[in-house]
Amino acid sequence: MFRLTLAAAAAGAMGWGIRGQFGHETGAMIAGVLVSLVVVSMLRPHSPAHWAMRAVALGTIGAGVGGAMTYGQTIGLTQDPALVGSWAALRWGLLGLALKGGLWIGIFGVLLGMGLGTVRYRARELWLVALAAVALAMLGTWLLNEPYDPAQRDLPRFYFSASWHWRPDAIDLRPRREVWGGLLLALTALAAYTRWVRGDDLAWRLAGWGSLGGAVGFPLGQALQAYHAWNPEVFARGIWVALDPYVNWWNAMETTFGAVMGASLAFGAWHNRSGIAVATTTPDTDGAHEPGALPVGLEWAGLSVHAALLLIAEFTDVPVLSRYADVPLVMGVLPLALVAGGRSAPAVIALPMTLLPIAGKTVRQLVYQQHAVGPLVGWVGYAVVPMALMCAAAWWLVRGTRAGPRDGPAVQVALLLAVWVYFALNFAFFGYPWPWTAWTNRTLHALVFAACALLVTWVCQPEPAPRPVTR
């Protein structure tokens, strides 16, 4: 239990800290895939790859859903210079972070639990459930996050972003639209469906553990950053005089949040491990002959459509389509059905599809915005090679679904590959802050991420598969 919780905390700290450089939904999927791979590979180290990657992919999608919520201004309530000293604003901001963090990781937990448990969800079922969740999210947003008319200073009653309630004389406020009410209704309905309709105890229990980790981790991490903003005199003396210029307090908040939520989900999964499916190697473990399995052509057509929509949403301003990743739960509808009914989709979505926008953003930042490297070197080093490695890992996992005992170590190798690929891309994004060069406010956290990557590598070494007993 200790090794699992430690590894998941390290994976969550690194993944969530890296997330901050790459954006909300797709960035959060980094932490989703790393924590899910840790939990799956350590609790069922010798399971067939298709079963394992289905759980990982569902968890990865779940981690991305909550990224539709805005939270920057909620953090601002606790540390903006104009509000420092207002205990009421601090309490309200931390309450908002607890609510948003609990919803974010609660959805992560319920979907991870749906993949780990003994209840088998089919493609058509998850398609319909996801569509219903989108409708409920819209309803919840209308019920709890309206009215929203900043021009008339008309905001919802329960509002956790910048408002004139806290700064009545401000003329430069730009209140953000909140959608937490929609995710609250969707998560409640999804947890109720898994428990009362499908009898999936593990899913709703992990929803609770995820909600706990998010509700504690987000405000706890921000409390550190707020303390720094509220108490500058503390950091003007002693060791802090030398250290404070190199501490990225925003990253400190993110890594704390990620560590707490990763540890909570891992502990919850371990505590409820009796509900995890004992996946065995059978002729049908690759999913190709399961009832309701998607035809191969339809599966790959769906993957192609999802990849195209993801790229359009991340890198263009095409009307309507550029909102694909912003509307709560919409981005998860198609991939959820593909993961539930596809043979290749779980590994493809968890590995290369999660990396795709991250690699693209790295190229955009380093090649076209900072001009740190030329296009050829940038595209090859930051996109082609990482994507090739992830595609090869996905191909290995899909091809190995009939390989039986070798599947477990393959999933662990995929975990280690993901850890170091994301670390390397973030290290490049940070401008290669080697500790023997002049330090910046990114050097210290680059070392933190390196320590997390090394810890996951040490704890999650692939184990040899058990040999069959011969008589």
What pTM value is reported for the model?
0.93
The residue with tokens 């933190």 is 448
> In b/e form, how buried is each residue of 225-248, taking b as 16+ CB within 10 angstroms?
bbebeeeeeebeeeeeeeeeeebb
Q: What pLDDT does residue 286 have?
A: 52
- pLDDT score recorded for residue 419: 97
Give the separation between CA 12 and CA 257, rounded to whole angstroms: 8
Instruction: Compute the residue count for the chain.
Output: 471
Give the model confidence (pLDDT) of 86-129 as tens digits: 999 999 999 999 999 999 999 999 999 999 999 999 999 999 99
How distant, in Å, are the alpha carbons of 54, 307, 334 from that of 123?
12, 19, 10
Give the C-alpha separation, 94 to 241, whole Å: 28
What's the confidence (pLDDT) of residue 326? 66
Using alpha carbons only, what angle is made at residue 276 by residues 270 and 280, rounded to the nearest 5 degrees?
A: 130
Task: Measure the CA–CA gap between 291 and 95, rounded to whole angstroms.
Answer: 45
Query: Looking at the predicted structure, is the pLDDT value of residue 249 above 90?
Result: yes
The residues facing 154 across adjacent strands are: 149
Going by pLDDT thresholds of 50, 70 and 90, the confidence category of residue 75 is very high
Q: What are phi and psi of 276, to 5 degrees?
A: -80, 135
- Tokens 């477990």 locate to 408
Residue with tokens 């398609």: 127
Cα–Cα distance measured from residue 160 to residue 180, given in angstroms and rounded to the nearest whole number: 10
Tell me the per-residue pLDDT of 265-316, one tens digit each, with 9 for 90 and over.
Answer: 999 999 999 889 876 544 444 555 565 688 999 999 999 999 998 888 888 8
pLDDT at 464: 57
**Domain spans of the chain, in order of start:** 2-164+176-278+286-459
**How confident is the prediction for the chain on average, in pLDDT?**
90
